């Protein structure tokens, strides 16, 4: 951990133009690495700007980038791995792309025509929430509007033969316009999907489903009890399937069911150690495996306390303990993403404009100058760590990959 918070500062200040460049930063990284401090991670920004504009001769489409994954597009063939990004955008560095695009080490590429169809309004009301590789295959999740034969919102697609094909009919999204799929995981040979949705009229079909014989079905008792709740992420850790988000475990009364973190047990979900709160307070946004332990982040209490703040915690299979304590950046903001990189822990918080670094006092403090909030209007401002580059792929230096919606 860092003994202070200045280690990244020079790097981020030097990177200001690259950060401001939003979705086009991959095209303007030459010469940046040499400007970094010796122990400063490179910051590779992929978030699209809040309005179409030109910087360094490159154009960004309006939108945001929320997810990335490294993908080997031709298996054992000669092509190197590509960095695939997903979000809400119509172009990437001038290349038309409906919410998903790939960086091949030289330029941005469109991947098919995107899962959406119909007029421009239908396509731009669609959004991708996540992109992931499962068993070598590329999947895209989100909310995608198709207008033929009828107007339908679906959430799960797989890239095959140069185009996007619906998985199990795409998992039709019923309910409000906020319904979507945010995450997938393969557990014991079964594909699971999580997000904000309900499977048909099933009362136990909230927010998590599994694919059985090509049909999406409720996964046990579901997670959550209404459309105000959601699953943020599914993760297989120590051969067990975990889910995080804002929900009460359905099989228990809300006042008793642990909120926000659960694992699959047989055909049911059991809560994992996050103190229940009244109302809809508290949420776990992200999970990562760290050896045999599970790390989580979000905005929630711990250890029987009613003190709620943005934090990172460690689950050792028995109990949750704090990795970070409250700081000025997280007192009232959820920790929405985090990553361990180069022996350090970095994170972002909702509505914050800086990367946060964990110091020796267990505080997540801002580093660097941060990104601009200009011209975003009423859009939610969020900066997220969407991946890392190890310096061996995509013709990119080693560093953090940031996404979000900012200038």
Q: What would the pLDDT profile of 65-123 be if each residue is shown by its tens digit?
A: 889 999 998 888 888 899 999 988 888 877 888 889 998 888 889 998 888 766 665 66
Closest Cα to residue 26, out of 398, 335, 396?
396
Sign, CA dihedral 237-243-246-251, equals negative
Q: What would the pLDDT profile of 363-401 be if each residue is shown by its tens digit?
A: 998 876 666 553 333 334 477 888 888 888 888 877 888
Which strand ranges, in their side-by-side order, compose the sheet holding 230-237?
A: 230-237, 240-248, 259-265, 268-271
11 SS3 class = helix
| Contact between 51 and 62 (Cβ < 8 Å) | yes
* Cα distance between the two ends of the chain: 29
**Of the ranges 91-100, 140-149, 209-218, 359-368, the best mean pLDDT one:** 209-218
Q: What would the pLDDT profile of 224-260 be if each residue is shown by its tens digit?
A: 777 778 899 999 999 999 999 988 765 554 444 457 8
* Residue 327 CB contacts under 8 Å (≥ 6 apart), including other chains: 356, 363, 364, 365
* Residue 90 CB contacts under 8 Å (≥ 6 apart), including other chains: 61, 62, 63, 96, 97, 98, 123, 124
Q: Do strands 53-55 and 190-198 pair parallel, antiparallel, or not at all (unpaired)?
A: unpaired
With pLDDT > 90 as the criterion, what percentage of the chain qualifies?
32
Q: How far apart are CA 225 and CA 249, in angstroms?
A: 9
Run of H or E including 355: strand 355-358
| Contact between 61 and 90 (Cβ < 8 Å) | yes
* Residues belonging to the chain: 407
Residue 214 has phi, psi (to 5 degrees) of: 80, 5
Structure tokens at 278: 């009244």
**Of the ranges 5-9, 143-147, 225-229, 249-253, the best mean pLDDT one:** 143-147
Residue 203 pLDDT > 60, yes or no? yes
**For 204-226, b where at least 16 C-beta lie within 10 A, e where not — what string?**
bbbbbbbbeeeebebbbbbbbbe
Q: How far apart are CA 49 and CA 404, in angstroms?
A: 9
Closest Cα to residue 382, out of 324, 330, 336, 329?
336
* Residue 258 CB contacts under 8 Å (≥ 6 apart), including other chains: 248, 249, 252, 271, 272, 273, 274, 275, 276
The whole-model pTM stands at: 0.84
| Contact between 205 and 219 (Cβ < 8 Å) | no
Rg (CA), the chain: 20
| Contact between 399 and 83 (Cβ < 8 Å) | no
Q: How far apart are CA 290 and CA 314, in angstroms?
A: 9
Concatenated DSSP letters of 251-283: TS-TTTSPEEEEEEETTEEEE-S----STT--E
Q: What is the mean pLDDT of residues 219-225?
A: 82
Per-residue model confidence (pLDDT) at position 95: 83
Q: What would the pLDDT profile of 290-312 be if each residue is shown by its tens digit?
A: 999 999 999 888 776 777 889 99
Q: How far apart are CA 310 and CA 210, in angstroms?
A: 31
Per-residue model confidence (pLDDT) at position 235: 98
- 């297989």: which residue's tokens? 236
Closest Cα to residue 138, out of 189, 69, 80?
69
| Contact between 84 and 90 (Cβ < 8 Å) | no
């Amino acid at each position: 951990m860092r003994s202070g918070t200045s280690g990244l500062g020079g790097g981020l200040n030097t990177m200001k133009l690259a950060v401001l460049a939003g979705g086009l930063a991959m095209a303007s990284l030459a010469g940046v690495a040499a400007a970094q401090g010796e122990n400063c991670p490179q910051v590779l920004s992929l978030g699209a700007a809040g309005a179409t504009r030109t910087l360094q001769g490159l154009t960004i489409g309006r939108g945001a980038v929320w997810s990335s994954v490294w993908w080997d597009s031709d298996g054992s063939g000669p092509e190197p791995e590509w960095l695939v990004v997903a979000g809400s955008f119509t172009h990437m560095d001038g290349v038309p792309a409906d919410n998903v695009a790939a960086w091949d080490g030289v330029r941005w590429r469109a991947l098919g025509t995107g899962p959406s169809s119909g007029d421009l309004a239908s396509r731009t009301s669609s959004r991708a929430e996540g992109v992931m590789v499962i068993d070598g295959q590329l999947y895209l999740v989100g909310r995608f509007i198709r207008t033929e034969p009828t107007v339908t919102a679906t959430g799960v697609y797989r890239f095959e033969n140069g185009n996007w094909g619906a998985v199990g009919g795409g998992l039709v999204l019923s309910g409000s316009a906020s319904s979507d799929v945010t995450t997938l995981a393969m557990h014991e040979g079964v594909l699971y999907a999580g997000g904000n949705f309900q499977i048909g009229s099933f009362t136990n079909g909230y927010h998590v489903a599994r694919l059985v014989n090509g049909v999406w079905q409720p996964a046990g008792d579901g997670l959550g009890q209404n459309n105000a709740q959601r699953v943020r992420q599914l993760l297989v850790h120590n051969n067990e399937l975990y889910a995080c988000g804002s929900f009460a475990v359905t099989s228990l009364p809300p006042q008793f069911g642990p909120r926000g973190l659960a694992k699959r047990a047989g055909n049911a979900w059991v809560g994992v150690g996050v103190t229940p709160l009244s109302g809809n307070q508290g949420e776990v946004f992200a999970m990562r495996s760290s050896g045999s332990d599970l790390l989580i982040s979000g905005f929630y209490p711990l250890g029987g306390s009613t003190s709620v703040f943005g934090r990172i915690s460690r689950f050792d299979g028995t109990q949750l303990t704090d990795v970070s304590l409250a700081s000025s950046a997280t007192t009232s903001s959820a920790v929405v993403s985090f990553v361990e990189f180069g022996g350090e822990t970095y994170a972002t918080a909702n509505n914050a404009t800086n990367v946060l670094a964990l110091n020796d006092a267990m505080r997540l403090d801002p580093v660097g100058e941060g990104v601009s909030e200009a011209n975003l209007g009423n859009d939610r401002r969020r900066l997220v760590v969407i991946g890392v580059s190890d310096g061996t792929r995509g013709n990119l230096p080693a560093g953090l990959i940031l996404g979000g919606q900012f200038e």
